[in-house]
Amino acid sequence: MGMRKALGLAASIAVCILTACTTTQIDRGTYIADTRHHAKNADSRIRFLVMHYTEIDEAGSLAVLTGDQVSVHYVVPDAPRIENGEPVIYQLVPENKRAWHAGTSSWQGATELNASSIGIENVNLGPIGEQSGEGGENKWQPYPPAQIDALIKLSRDIVARYDIPPTRVVGHSDIAPQRKIDPGPLFPWHALYDAGVGAWPDDATVAAHLVGRDPKASSDVRALQEKLRRYGYDIATDGVLDDKTRRVFSAFQMHFRPSDYAGNADAESDAIAQALLDKYFAN
């Protein structure tokens, strides 16, 4: 851009600032963009918010996520430093750019969610050893209150700015259940829901769907598969409780019933799935 053109553009911008005018033309140096006409058939690139944990500490997380293999938009420390009374969160990728955090993924019919999501990594070690209790399940590192507070503030801002529906706030295990288990059963989904982020079933509706049923009783595999497919999971509806189906059931349970995520088809899981459909997909 020539000096005269640059000075003219700066002057016009200054006039607009002073007079509160709205320009409809943008001089981009080699052409002028006229922005008077606006298409109605358009929406944001951002349609999903995906939650992760890092499995390593803060320094290691930042080193990996700024390297050559993977990336993410935001990293929430487990102990965020506070500046001017607010938590500091790392932003590694601009929101208008694709980050490589979701991998091969699917949700509500959309695939390759890297192209249509914002990813948040939470500094958390995930599984931290085997416990000796029933089933020998993993112990998991908890998410500290300060981290949850920072995550809520970040997530509320993102879903508000992009109008992301509750059922499109998901975990990595929801969108890639055959290969991922993060953000794990201790992730604060209910706290996020209470803050206005993400989905959660109404307790009264779950109870109504459980009337006369033992919560642990076996339920119809195909029926649960179909409900989870309607909700958003990539799952077969063949009625077969194979390893792939169990991993999807487990991902769903880890999200909405973290006390038991063994991957069984049981009455309580069926009631939770139906309650979610009643609430978010009634039409």
DSSP structural state of residue 174: H
Smallest Cα–Cα separation from 118: which of 91, 152, 81?
Answer: 91
Question: SS3 of 162, please?
Answer: helix
The residue annotated as part of the active site, out of 58, 121, 134, 268, is 121
Cis check: omega of the bond before 183, within 30 degrees of 0? yes
Give CA–CA dist 197/185, Å, rounded: 17
Interacting residues of 104 by C-beta distance below 8 A, sequence separation 6+: 111, 112, 176, 179
Question: SS3 of 49, please?
Answer: strand
Active site residue 121: yes
In the block, tokens 């929430």 appear at 76
Active site residues: 121
